[in-house]
Amino acid sequence: MPKDLLTYTATQEYLTSLVPPREKEMQDMEAYAEKHNFPIIGATCGYYIYQLARMINAKSIFELGSGYGYSTAWFAKALRENGGGVVHHTVWDENLSQMAKQHLVKLGSDDLVKFHMSEAVEALKKTDGPFDIIFNDIDKEQYPASLPVIKSKLRSGGLLIIDNMLWHGDIFNKDDVRPATEGVREFTKQITNDSDWIVSLVPMRDGMIVAYKK
């Protein structure tokens, strides 16, 4: 096969085509993100986090940064099939929180979700753990400072999932020293050099790190 066929775009489109059909409400959430250029994890990564939550039979999940509930919906779907539990949805913005509630009500998942209107890391500090999964999708310059808090709240054998770890390819640009880009680089360095974690970076969409806490 010619190497030029194995492109980023072709790979991502192929991965998306393998995701089973979603509920209409989920498709509506995806359409809104595309129309308004709102950053959600997308169908491929959404299905992946759902798979991970099912694999470890997760019951307690904390999201650091939840937007209007797209990732929350995937986690709640897994919890329902795992027999119940709670996923913590955290955002600063009241409008996003209300949007999330409306979507999750329509999906019949709102009973599995606890909503926090707060800065995400502060909400995690104040919420009793430990958690089976922590999902990190906050502002990237805040990633490094979030890791010690995450580590203290995640159970041994739990999963940390971090979004945007390829950061649109900007991490490969040595001249890019913006705080967000440096935050992604520093977080990656910290967690991959910490022997308490088993870490892989999956090049789906914008890159996801999945880290197992020993």
pLDDT mean over 148-173: 97
Domain total of the chain: 1
Q: What gap in Å lies between CA 55 and CA 57, rounded to an integer?
A: 6
Q: What percent of the chain shows pLDDT beyond 70?
A: 99
Q: What gap in Å lies between CA 166 and CA 12, rounded to an integer?
A: 14
DSSP string, 96-127: HHHHHHHHHHHTT-GGGEEEEES-HHHHHHHS
pLDDT mean over 77-88: 98
pLDDT for res 54: 98
| Residue range of the domain that includes 81 | 3-213
What's the pTM value of the predicted model, to 2 decimals?
A: 0.95
Task: Say which residue, 90 or 6, is predicted with more confidence.
Answer: 90
* 3-class DSSP assignment, residue 1: coil
Q: Are the C-beta atoms of 201 and 160 separated by less than 8 Å?
A: no
Tokens 């790190």 found at: 209
The pair of three-digit structure tokens given for residue 44, joined into one six-digit string: 């491929």
pLDDT mean over 16-36: 95
pLDDT for res 120: 95
pLDDT digits (tens, 9 = 90+) for 181-190: 999 999 999 9
pLDDT for res 13: 93
Q: What gap in Å lies between CA 73 and CA 9, rounded to an integer?
A: 26
pLDDT mean over 87-98: 95
- How confident is residue 40, by pLDDT bands cut at 50, 70 and 90? very high
- How confident is residue 113, by pLDDT bands cut at 50, 70 and 90? very high
User: What is the tally of helices (H) and strands (E) in the chain?
Assistant: 8, 7
Per-residue pLDDT for 1 more than 60?
no
Q: What is the CATH number of the domain that holds 163?
A: 3.40.50.150
